[in-house]
């Protein structure tokens, strides 16, 4: 009997049911006959969907304490599992990725974000220090990238940055799952609720204030599903005239998200033009497409290319509530065009922007790294 390759995914910050880590990568690897473990903080140890979930209790709050304490606990658990392949998902785990590589393990860094650019937008880092912190982190990240087996990331730009340090880099985009889309048959636009939606983190840079302002003169309800940060931001929005048209749901489960997508007339993804957002590919845009919703998106170059090529929505200046308002009005007042946009988006999702396509790339990348190690 051939021994299965043991794979261990590591996270110090994500939940056990994280969509990209658990529902996409871990389950895909398990279905491809790998022996899969997942190390996450603060949950019960169990087996779910064939994945062996291992955990530890980390009561340390605050970024520095998590960096020092939780990372050490992740490493301890990783050593107990003694996997053939370690795949880590948080930049704070770079230092243990390096340790595991020195032990002869295959180590993969999954760069979900362009962290050096993201640092430049972190409100909790004093502005005067951000450039220095970003530079120092990029140097350390590059140092580790040269010494591990490979890197996976979610956009072409991030992948190209890592190719300067490591020839084994693979783009594995964070596109939605096919099985979720298949539960959401596209409803006729006229039969949907008089509602539009945004699902995700409710931060100022996500364009939430502009969304709320944009509906002041439109007869529609804006569904917001997510968590506010900072909490004071919510209080600021509640003072706006159009807040009475907002239905704030807080953090909701996946089933509720599917319900919101199924009943909404369009989806908003009007993020601000920060360094990290401009080059990102937000999963919510593709989730809207998978549900057959017309999309109103920020007019970033790559986003405009996707929206225009598929004819699935309208791109706007995310800092201009009037442009967002006009786009909402255009879609709501043209049901036949809205239905076509939704259909086009769903078709593009099935043909190009779904996890099944990315899953094949993930498995091929794993097999490539296994073969390379066997040749050493």
How far apart CA 370 and CA 376 sit, in angstroms, is 10
pLDDT at 61 (0 to 100): 65
- Which ranges of the chain have pLDDT less than 70? 1-2, 59-67, 186
The DSSP bridge partners found for residue 85 are 7, 106
- The backbone region for 78, taken as left when phi is positive above 0, alpha when psi lies in -120 to 50, beta otherwise, is alpha
CATH topology identical between 6-175+354-375 and 178-351 = yes
Domain ranges of the chain: 6-175+354-375, 178-351
Q: List pLDDT tens digits, range 54-69.
A: 999 886 666 666 667 8
Domain 178-351, architecture per CATH: 3-Layer(aba) Sandwich (3.40)
> What CATH number does domain 6-175+354-375 carry, 3.30.750.210, 3.40.1390.10, 3.90.650.10, 3.40.50.2000?
3.40.50.2000
Indicate the pTM of the whole model.
0.91
pLDDT at 123 (0 to 100): 77
Q: List pLDDT tens digits, range 189-248.
A: 888 989 999 999 999 999 999 999 999 999 999 999 999 988 899 999 999 999 999 999
Query: For 32-189, where are the alpha helices, taking DSSP H only?
Result: 63-65, 71-81, 94-102, 115-119, 127-145, 156-162, 178-181
Question: What phi, psi does 173 have (nearest 5°)?
Answer: -65, 155
pLDDT at 62 (0 to 100): 65
pLDDT at 93 (0 to 100): 97
Q: List pLDDT tens digits, range 91-100.
A: 999 999 999 9
Instruction: For the chain, state the CA radius of gyration.
Output: 21
The DSSP secondary structure of 230-274, one letter per residue, reads SHHHHHHHHTSGGGGGEEEEES--HHHHHHHHHH-S-EEE-----
**91-100 burial code (b ≥16 CB/10 A, e <16):** bbbbebbbeb
pLDDT at 303 (0 to 100): 97
């Amino acid at each position: 009997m051939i021994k299965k390759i043991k794979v261990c995914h590591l996270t110090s910050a994500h939940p056990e049911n994280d969509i990209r880590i658990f529902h996409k990568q871990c389950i895909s690897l398990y279905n491809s006959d790998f022996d899969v473990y997942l190390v996450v903080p603060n949950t019960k140890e169990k087996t779910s969907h064939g994945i062996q979930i291992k955990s530890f209790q980390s009561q340390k709050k605050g970024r520095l304490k998590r960096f020092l304490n939780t990372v050490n606990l992740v490493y301890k658990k990783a050593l107990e599992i003694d996997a053939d392949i370690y795949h880590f998902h948080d930049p704070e785990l770079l230092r243990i990725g390096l340790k595991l590589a020195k032990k002869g393990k295959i180590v993969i860094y999954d760069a979900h974000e362009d962290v050096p650019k993201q640092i430049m937008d972190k409100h909790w880092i004093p502005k005067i220090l951000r450039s220095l912190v970003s530079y120092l982190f990029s140097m350390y990240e590059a140092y580790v990238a040269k010494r591990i087996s490979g890197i996976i990331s979610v956009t072409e730009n991030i992948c190209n940055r890592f190719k300067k340090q490591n020839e084994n880099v693979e783009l594995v985009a964070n596109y939605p799952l096919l099985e979720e889309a298949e539960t959401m048959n596209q409803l006729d636009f006229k039969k949907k609720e008089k509602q539009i939606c945004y699902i995700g983190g409710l931060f100022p840079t996500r364009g939430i204030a502009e969304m709320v302002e944009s509906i002041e003169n439109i007869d529609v309800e804006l569904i917001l599903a997510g968590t506010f940060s900072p909490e004071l931001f919510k209080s600021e929005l509640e003072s706006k005239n159009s807040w009475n048209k907002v239905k704030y749901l807080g953090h909701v489960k996946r089933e509720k998200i599917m319900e919101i997508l199924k009943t909404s007339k369009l989806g908003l993804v009007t993020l601000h033009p920060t360094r990290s957002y401009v080059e990102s590919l937000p999963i919510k845009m593709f989730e809207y497409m998978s549900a057959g919703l017309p999309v109103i998106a920020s007019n970033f170059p790559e986003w405009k290319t996707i929206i225009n090529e598929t004819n699935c929505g309208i791109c706007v200046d995310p800092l201009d509530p009037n442009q967002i308002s006009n786009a909402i009005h255009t879609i709501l007042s043209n049901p036949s065009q809205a239905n076509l946009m939704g259909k086009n988006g769903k078709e593009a999702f099935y043909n190009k922007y779904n996890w099944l396509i990315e899953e094949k790339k993930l498995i091929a990348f794993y097999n490539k790294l296994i073969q390379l190690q066997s040749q050493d």
